[in-house]
Every structure is written in structure tokens, then in C-alpha cells.
Amino acid sequence: MKQFKRYLTIVVACTSMMQAGWAQQQAPRKALSYGAQYTGKRKDSAMAKFRTNRFGQFIHWGLYSIPGGIWEGKTYSYAAEFLKSSAHLSSATWDSLMYRFNPTKFDAHAWAKMAKQMGVKYMTITTKHHEGFCMWPSQYTDFHVGNSPFKRDILKELVEAYNAEGIDVNFYYSVLDWHHPDWKYDIKTAEDQTQFLRYLDFAYNQLKELATRYPTVKCFWFDGTWDNSIKKNGWWTLEVEKMLKKAIPGVIVNSRLRADDYGARHRDSNGELMGDYESGYERRLPDPVKDLSVTQIDWEACMTIPENQWGFHKDWSLSYVKTPQELVEMLTLTTSLGGNFLLNFGPQGDGAIRTEEKQIAATIADWMKVNGEAIYGGDYAGWKKQDWGYFIQKAGTNKVYMVVFNQPFSNIARLQVPDKVKITKSYLLEAPAQSLLLKETQKNQFNLYLPAVKKAGAFVIVLETEQGGGAGKQYQDAKT
């Protein structure tokens, strides 16, 4: 009897778990007016170009770049672009920095040349960060570069210089605006909403102004949309997206803009991605083994060089500073999972790029010059992740790249090949004439013998493949 009761208990437990799981899977979809407008990846050429670019330069530059994290001799370790709040400064004090903004060392062409050599294919510039200062002469506010001693239209100079180098330009825009009197963090009353609507009109007009003044912009990168005031106005976020896509056909919008009918962000209340790509990976990357779902969407990770400084901070000794090798591995990991990598630079208040950033850019440039072929147009290969590094599939070709970061002591890189795939050639990207020995060890598994001389840094091996391969010999499965 006891046996039967135990069996019954198990059956009841399994049934209720299945019912719960079934119920969850079948949760009725919510009818949404401001949810995802489409599902799946965009298939148009503009999105394909964004995807192929893979490597971008983020630039955070504004009034916060002048003090660089230090105020009246005191150093504040938090993100430099937050110094106004870290040092508890009044808006009047902070906004007066506009009269000190005169970056005489700013040279858009020099910035663009450095970016070109580093190998980026796009650049995302802060048009307006949370402080509300506009890097273009906006007609909707006096708080802009035209009213600073510098006067010049920084966005115009950057767009022209980067486009001239063949680099796409994207615009970062903070909806959160500490300067504007009608900004609200939350909406509690009808008066709050009336006031906030004035801010939403202002921001809508500024975004339309940006799309009209700079029509070559390829993407709008929204930020500062996490407050309840925006979550309660999801309708506006969809209006903005529609306006931008009408103003510039093909323009791309990241997932940080939208809020749906229930205030859900990035993914709507039915779990569908809003915007054209996921931009929630900030200073973190997906796990290349556990987070493979990310390969089903377009996504981008943005990354600081110090632990958490987007704007220029005078003192980089306050936190760990990533090495160029670590940043190259982050770029590679991101590409291997079908994502874009957006590496941040924080120019100084005088317009110069700090020495450390120039050195890092130069080291990355050296690596990209030899190995960039594995990054541009690279995508998820679907091969089993190995300890030595990452597989990258070159979309539309028969090439799979092995980017080796951890050269095994045995000098043998093991690889497991998907069924029906045959490797016809294997060689170093930098020395294509030098074929590498590949030995089949068991069904779909191979040893690849790496160059005897240990390489100084990460290197790339090209595997040329064809369909219809698979294990030549018959292998006996173990009887256990």
C-alpha cells in the first residue's frame, strides 16, 4: 500500500507541475496599443549594415567633462557625468559650466581618424546627456553649445568628420533632463501630467530637430527612460519611434526608448522586444554558454574602460581599468553571440582624448588590422563553445573563425563539428598559406594542431567548411 501511495504522490506532483508550467506558457497575451510593433529580426539593409558593423565607439562628452569628477578640490569616485548630484550642486552652479565650455583642442577629424584606425564602423555621440546641455544649437532651448564660448555645432562637425571616414554616426539622447523645468520623475496628479506633457513636447521637437538637421544619422540611442513618468506615458515613446522612422526611413531605435501600456520596458508585457535591438547589456556581457537565447535577437553591449566612468574622470586610479586585450575579448565574445560591441571614450573638457584612451585605441587598432575580418559581419556559429576561445560564423560564407585567447599547453585545440559539416581547409588568418593539421579523433570531433610558436596575443584560425561532411570512419558508441 505504501508503495502505491508514494507512486500516487509522485504522479500528483508531476501533474500539478505540468499544469503550472502549461498555465504559465498559455498565459493569455495582453492586448497592447504601445507594445512591440513587430517580432523577429529586421531584414532590411539598414539593419543588416548595423549588424555587420559589429564594433562601435561610444562618446560621452558634455559639461561634465570640464570638472572631470573633481569639484573644489574634492574627488568624487562615482561616474563623472553624475558629479552634479554626487557633489550636491545646484542647477544654477552646474548650468554655469556652459560659460566655461570652450574645447579649443577639439578636432573632429583627429577623433574620426583615431576611430577609423581602431576599426570601429559606427560612433554613438551624446547629443544631450542627463544634464540637459545640447551639443548642437537647438532652437528649443538656450542651454546649448551655441551659447557657450565655443559656439560651434559639435554634432555637425562630428557627423561630417566620421561620415567622411566611412563611419556611421548614431545619436545618444537622454530623455531624463535635469535642466528642463517640466521634467518629472513621476506623475502623481493631473497637474503633474500637464506639466510633463510640456516636457514630452519639448523632447519630441528636439528629436525631430535632430533627425531633420542631421539626416545621415543611422540610429537613435535612447537613455534615461527608467522613471515612472515615462513608464506612464508609453504612448509618447511609440509616437517618437514612429516620427523618427518616418523622418529617416531605415533609422534604427534601441530598446531603451519604449514603454508599453503597462510600463514594461525593453520587452513588452507579452515578452516581445520593443525597438530594433536589445541595448540592456551595459558593462556586462551574456554568458557564451548559458545565454544563447540572445543569438535570436539583435543586441548591443556598451562598455566603459574603467569600471564605471562614461564621462571624462581625471583620476582613473579610482577603479580597475580594462586592458586592450580584455576589451578585444569582449568584442570577440559579443560578436560570437551575434551582438554589437560599443566601447566608450570620454573626451576631456578641452576636447583632447586622454592618453590612456589613445594608447588603448592604438593597441586595439593593431589587432583589428590583422583580425578584423573575423569581427565584421561575424555571427553566432552554433558550434560548441571550447575553452581556447570563440567560434564566429561569417554570415553568407563557408568560413568559421576560431579566435584563440587561451592557447592550450598541448598546443591542440579541440573542436566539435556539427553533424553534416566537413572542414576542408584550416589556416591562420594572418598566414593563409600555412595550413594547420586537423585530425579526426571521434565522431564530429577533431584535434587542430596550433602553430608551434606561442603567439603574443589572441589570434584567428580560419576553417573553410562544406555541408555534407561528418565522420568518415564508423565509431562505436560505448555500451555503459
Q: Which three cell numbers stand for residue 288?
A: 557564451
- Provide the minimum distance between the beta carbon of 47 and ligand FHN in the complex, in angstroms, as a whole number: 21
Which residue lies nearest ligand FHN, judged by its C-beta?
A: 310
Q: Residues 210, 240, 302, 402: which binds ligand FHN (CB under 6 A)?
A: 302
List, in sequence order, every beta strand (DSSP E) within 109-229: 122-128, 168-174, 219-223
Q: How far apart are CA 328 and CA 391, in angstroms?
A: 14
Q: Residue 282 interacts with ligand FHN (CB under 6 A)?
A: yes
**Footprint (CB under 6 A) of ligand FHN, residues 431-470:** none
The sign one gets for the Cα dihedral 155, 156, 158, 163 is positive
Q: Residue 310 interacts with ligand FHN (CB under 6 A)?
A: yes
- Provide the minimum distance between the beta carbon of 81 and ligand FHN in the complex, in angstroms, as a whole number: 5
- Provide the minimum distance between the beta carbon of 342 and ligand FHN in the complex, in angstroms, as a whole number: 9
- Provide the minimum distance between the beta carbon of 452 and ligand FHN in the complex, in angstroms, as a whole number: 44
User: Taking Cα atoms as reference points, which of 363, 375, 456 lies closest to residue 118?
Assistant: 363
**Inter-CA distances, 89 with 84, 95, 183, 307, Å:** 5, 10, 18, 24
**Footprint (CB under 6 A) of ligand FHN, residues 74-93:** 79, 81
Q: Residue 223 interacts with ligand FHN (CB under 6 A)?
A: yes
Q: Give the helix, strand, coil percentages of the chain, each rounded to 5.
A: 35, 25, 45
Closer residue to ligand FHN in complex, CB, 295/308: 308
Contact 160, 174 (CB under 8 A): no
User: Taking Cα atoms as reference points, which of 418, 373, 414 lies closest to residue 397?
Assistant: 373
**Footprint (CB under 6 A) of ligand FHN, residues 132-191:** none
Q: Which three cell numbers stand for residue 336?
A: 560570437
Closer residue to ligand FHN in complex, CB, 283/369: 283
Q: How far apart are CA 449 and CA 451, in angstroms?
A: 7
Q: Residue 366 interacts with ligand FHN (CB under 6 A)?
A: no
Closer residue to ligand FHN in complex, CB, 111/310: 310
Q: Which three cell numbers stand for residue 123?
A: 560612433
Closer residue to ligand FHN in complex, CB, 168/223: 223
Closer residue to ligand FHN in complex, CB, 346/372: 346
Per rule CB under 6 A, count of chain residues that contact ligand FHN: 6
Closer residue to ligand FHN in complex, CB, 81/298: 81
Catalog residues that contact ligand FHN under the rule CB under 6 A: 79, 81, 223, 282, 302, 310
